[in-house]
Amino acid sequence: MIRDNSRQMGQLIDGVLAFSRFFFNETAATEIDTTALAQRVFEELHAGSGGRAVAFQLSPLPAATGDPTLIRQAWANLLSNAIKFSGRRADPVIEVSGNEDGHSRVYCVRDNGAGFDMQYYDKLFRVFQRLHSAGEFPGTGVGLAIVQRV
């Protein structure tokens, strides 16, 4: 029990540190091939998830402009959530798509996992907010808050 609590506290501290970096670090904006980046990040995460079969459907994505480290972190958070929350499905599917409309680029990560009740949508992007218990799905509740800041 003490080890579990210590591990959880360490994860929370790591989450706070990761979240705080987005407020204090200067970023270097470059153009990023998001299709290739999303594919690489998925392959890395999938390899570390036990190798279970996941249908990954990646449509061509518009390029992003931003700090490569931050953009990579955003994709890692989005795709790790999709892998984690679809993990109990016998047939997990993750779909990634995007489009560009003038000056806006929209990216969508969809999975057939646990989902959430839309009445709690406003809590999704708050730091340390979780819509599922830590016993159900591991995590600290900072991933989507980081994605929103990126």
Count structural domains, the chain: 1
Identify the CATH number of the domain in which residue 79 sits: 3.30.565.10
Residue 33 DSSP label = -
Which are the contacts of 35, defined by CB distance < 8 A and separation ≥ 6? Answer: 58, 60, 61
**pTM, 2 dp:** 0.69
pLDDT tens, position by position, for the chain (150 residues)? 456 545 555 555 555 555 565 556 666 789 999 999 999 999 998 887 776 788 899 999 999 998 888 888 889 888 988 888 676 778 889 999 999 988 899 999 998 876 666 676 676 666 555 554 555 545 555 556 666 666
Q: Which residue has the tokens 């790591």?
A: 14
Host domain of residue 140: 2-149
H-run or E-run covering 85: helix 68-85
CB 132 within 8 A of CB 115: no
